[in-house]
Structure 1
Amino acid sequence: MTEGVKTGLPLVARPDARLFILGSLPGDASLAARQYYAHPQNQFWRLVGSVVGEDLHSMPYERRLERLAEHRIGLWDVIGSAVRRGSLDQAIRTANHNRIERLIHDFPALEAIAFNGATSAAIGRKLVGSATGIRLVDLPSSSPANTRPIVEKTAAWVVLKPLVSAGNQAEIVADD
């Protein structure tokens, strides 16, 4: 694959989201499918499923998003677009960042932002700054490039359990 500008996916959340999970920039499989964490070896849906107590991995994508919304979890990425050959974060060049700080103002129930992987955490923490009252959580990457065993990743991701809840059936907001 040649180097080119890759543009991420839109923010997905209900207005009452209290937890956002932010990645870096979706990989090629996710961009092609226009779905967060679409690569079959990415462990994201299994990890979040262990947090919410549901088998999200076996659900159709739209149902996964509905279940996240019901648990008041939003998804987005710290990078909106970048030049990148392939899917690895190390290959990201000329990144344009999403306006992560707007989450604090646009989502009044927001309690925490979790960063999926080191690249997301490094960039995201700079973008958020010292937002008062918002908990920032660094998580091991769900990417297949992170070869830690899933049992270790799961043990780290369970820190999110107190931040999720099944809520009312408000409508999902998809921000293009």
Structure 2
Amino acid sequence: MPRASVAAPSNADARVESFPPRVTRECRVLVLGSMPGVRSLALSQYYGHPHNLFWPFMQALCGVAADLPYATRVAALNAAGVGLWDVLKACERPGSLDSEIAAHSEEPNAIGELVASHPSLRALAFNGGKAWQSFRRHVQPRLPDAVAARVALVPLPSTSPANASVPRGSKLERWLALRQWL
């Protein structure tokens, strides 16, 4: 019996868009990912993959229980001074891996404008190398001097299950450094 062939997704099929920012006027740290993965997009939740370490790390960092309902977790995270967003507004990426993001398709979010309108923000924390790389490429060169002088830029190891090369304890130790801004 012949096997059915599955066509590779076209670039149009691989176009993904990030979520709106989850940040309040009181947030002091803005965690920036690159682009939500397939599972997160399907759930409409930041860090929705069950093996992503983000929510357990937030529990350790600011006491936000990882098993709370999503909306409650986000509200508690904001109340603890942490906001969420992504560096990229849209891109072409089949699947979930940052390495599959087509560089020519990267459209950045208006991070400079958001930070300028939230004077309480003191640090931008980058969840993984791709978020940091995309920020430096698209956002940092256009960041107003006053904003750049006010916020620390903190590259961190990815909490993604795809980042298995760094031990969990080492990752958590790096993430706990955000306490100085909370």
TM-score bracket for this pair, using the shorter chain length: 0.7 to 0.9
Separation in 2, partners of 1:26, 1:44: 12
Q: State the secondary structure of the residue aligned to 1:50.
A: helix
- The percentage of aligned residue pairs carrying the same residue is 36
Cα shift at 1:68 = 0.7
Query: Retained in 2: the 8 A contact 1:100–1:128?
Result: no
Distance 1:103 1:128, change over 3 A: farther
Cα shift at 1:34 = 0.3
Cα root mean square deviation, aligned: 1.4
Partner of 2:96: 87
Query: In the alignment, is residue 68 of structure 1 matched against residue 68 of structure 2?
Result: no
Provide TM-score, normalisation by structure 1.
0.88
**Aligned length in residues:** 163
Separation in 2, partners of 1:17, 1:43: 21
Partner of 2:140: 128
Distance 1:115 1:55, change over 3 A: same
Query: Retained in 2: the 8 A contact 1:56–1:64?
Result: yes
The farther-off stretch of 37-46 and 96-105 is 96-105
Query: In the alignment, is residue 16 of structure 1 matched against residue 16 of structure 2?
Result: no
Query: In the alignment, is residue 37 of structure 1 matched against residue 47 of structure 2?
Result: yes
Partner of 1:7: 17
Bigger Rg, which one: 2
Tell me which stretches of 4 or more aligned residues in structure 1 moved more than 2 Å.
none
Provide TM-score, normalisation by structure 2.
0.85
The answer for unaligned runs of 5 or more in structure 2 is: 1-7
Q: State the secondary structure of the residue aligned to 1:11.
A: coil
Say which structure, 1 or 2, has more relative contact order (CA 8 Å, 6+ apart): 1
Separation in 2, partners of 1:55, 1:124: 27
Query: In the alignment, is residue 114 of structure 1 matched against residue 125 of structure 2?
Result: yes
Cα shift at 1:55 = 5.0
